[in-house]
Amino acid sequence: MLQPSVSDLRNNNQFQLLVELGHKDLIPLVNEYYWKRKSWVTIFHYLISLAILIVWFWAGFQEKYSFDEWLSRFGFAVISFFVLLPIHELLHGLVYKIAGAKDIRFGASLRQAYAYAIAHHFVANRLVFTWVAITPFLVINSILVLGVILLQQYAFYLIGVLLLHTAGTSGDFAMLNYLWLNRHQDIYTFDDAVENKSYFYARINE
C-alpha cells in the first residue's frame, strides 16, 4: 500500500482527520492519553518511574546523605536534565531524518515547559512515529543505566537524572498510548510548521 502524501490526507475522502494538535498546546492531549485513558503503555511508564524513584531513595539512604547533600545532588540532576533536553529532541529529529524527512524543525513552549521536534509536511506512518516517540527514552535511559552500573561513585546523581528524564518522556508515552488505543486503525501523521499544528489521520476501510 502506497504511502499517502499530505495532499492525499487532506483532500482524499479515503482518509479521516482524527486529531488536530497545536504545537504550543500539547498538555490537554497528554492529560487525556497519559492520565485519563490508561493502557499497558502508560502503566508500564508509571511502574518504571516508580521503580527508579524507589531506587533513588534507596541509593540516597545507603550513602547516608544529609538533606543538603540530597538537595545539591538533585539540583545537579535538574541541571543535567535540561542539558539533555536538546539531545532528546535531536534524537526525535534523527529518527525523522533516517525515515526520510527533509525539513526538521525544533521548538519549545516556555509557558508549558516542554520542547518538541517536528518534520514539516513529512507523512509518518504508525511504525515510523512509534520509533520517533520511543527512541530518546531507549537511547538516553540506556546510557544513564550503563553509567549507574559503571560509575558507582556518581550513581545517586545519575539515578536522579534517569528519574527526571523518564518523567520527562510522559508526553512521548502519551503519543505511544494514543497509537495503541487506536491500533486497529491505519494511522498517518504529519506536522505543519507554518500552522504550528500536527495532524493525525486514519485510512477509512470501505
pLDDT given for residue 43 in this prediction: 97
174 closest CA partner among 45, 85, 47:
45
How distant is the alpha carbon of residue 146 from its chain centre? Answer: 21
pLDDT given for residue 206 in this prediction: 54
Angle of helix 170-181 relative to helix 126-150, nearest 10 degrees, comes to 140
Q: Label residues 37-67 b or e (16+ Cβ within 10 Å = b).
A: eeeebbeebeebbeebeebbeebbeeeeeee
Q: What is the pTM of this model?
A: 0.92
Instruction: State the residue for C-alpha cell 527514552.
Output: 137
pLDDT given for residue 30 in this prediction: 87
* Residue type present at position 201: Y
pLDDT given for residue 33 in this prediction: 94
pLDDT given for residue 111 in this prediction: 67
Do β-strands 114-119 and 124-125 pair in parallel, antiparallel, or remain unpaired?
unpaired
DSSP state of 120: B
Instruction: State the residue for C-alpha cell 498546546.
Output: 25
pLDDT given for residue 53 in this prediction: 96
Residue 110: what are its φ and ψ, rounded to 5°? Answer: -65, -35
Residue numbers in the chain where pLDDT is lower than 50:
none
Beta bridge partners of residue 106, listed in sequence order? 117
